[in-house]
Structure formats: C-alpha cells, structure tokens
Amino acid sequence: MTRLTRMFMPDLSATSVWDIPYDELFKQGVRSLFFDLDNTLIAYDEPVLTIESIQLINDLQKRFVVVIISNSGQKRVEKALGNSKLIGIWHAKKPLKSGFKKAIMRSGADPETTMLIGDQLLTDVFGGHRMSIMTCLVKPIKIKSDRFVTRLNRRFEKMIKHRIKRLDPDLFAKTFLEDEHHDNL
C-alpha cells in the first residue's frame, strides 16, 4: 500500500460521534478533539446543534479541548454553534492546512495529541493526516442531504476504498465499518 493510500486510512472508525470510545482515547493520551460539523455532528440540513450534541460536547470539554472545524461558511457555523462558546473554524478548506493551523492556534491544541472526527475521507481523514493529526471516521448522518461537491468527494472515497480493499482486505475490514448505506452511493 502506498503512502498516499495510507493517508486515507482513518486511525479509528465509529458509527457516530456517540460511539467513539472517548475514555479509551483519553487514556491513550488524546487531549484535543476537532469535530467536523456537517454530517458528523448535525445533518447538512439541520441548522443548529441538537441538545444531545451540546450535552456530549459539554461533557467532553471537561477533559478535552474541543474545536469545530468546518468547510462551511461563517453563517452556517455561527448559527450551528449558537451561544455555546465553542471554538468554531469556518471556511476551513480541509484538506488544506490553513483551517487546521487556525484551529491549533486558537485552541492551543498539540497536533500530536489531537484527533479529528469527521465523515469524509478526502477532507477530514486526508486533511488530518496531512497535519499529523489522528483521525476517526464516522458514518455521515444523512447522506441524501449532501451538497454536490460532497457527492463528488464520496465518489472519490469509493475509489479509494476499493483500492484499499483490493490491496489489503483484512486491513480494510478492520478500518472501515461497511454497510449498504455506504455502498449505495
């Protein structure tokens, strides 16, 4: 497997942000969590964080530095976060490095002890790894609400996954939680 292909392999996979073993991550030394917004914390067509998400984040903030890092614009991110006082980075341009650098600067997070949680291989996993940040891939909350550019990204994702599956089926099975939802793109 090439180094490039490895850049698209998440360090961890989970069904959703609710299924991530945060205690385990803390024990392993993770101290900062960067969350993608769209389809990771809320569906693309939901305007604000749900009470459950806010509770989860509040809880996590007792132990972790938490940042929201989104490719969406200022309006969307500010509205989603409401008055939660969370650090939110909009127009992050993942997988480019600029948004990550901003998130690191504003939060004081150490990339070595940071994990990015997101639903996309191309923007979140690849982008995180470019910054030497650990990554956790979650399943998109609502795939149908995706924007056009995201749908393109998902086509690319499918290609990458096929490649990984062909090169190393065992590693593929361990890395990606597959289901018909994912295969039906």
Using DSSP, state whether 71 is helix, strand or coil.
coil
Distance CA 130, CA 74 (A): 24
Distance CA 137, CA 120 (A): 7
Peptide bond into 95 cis (omega under 30): yes
Work out how close the CB of 169 gets to Mg ion at its nearest, in angstroms, rounded to a whole number: 27
DSSP 8-class letter at 2 = -
**Of 119 and 157, which has the nearer Cβ to Mg ion?**
119
**Of 43 and 171, which has the nearer Cβ to Mg ion?**
43
**Of 152 and 167, which has the nearer Cβ to Mg ion?**
152
Alpha carbons within 13 A on the beta-carbon side of 82: 9
**Of 102 and 139, which has the nearer Cβ to Mg ion?**
139
**Of 134 and 140, which has the nearer Cβ to Mg ion?**
140
* Chain residues that interact with Mg ion, rule: CB under 5 A: 36, 38-40, 119
User: In 3D, which of 149, 171, 179, 117 has the Cα closest to residue 5?
Assistant: 171
Work out how close the CB of 134 gets to Mg ion at its nearest, in angstroms, rounded to a whole number: 17
How many CB atoms within 10 Å of residue 84? 17
Work out how close the CB of 174 gets to Mg ion at its nearest, in angstroms, rounded to a whole number: 23
List residues bridging with 136 in a β-sheet: 12, 117
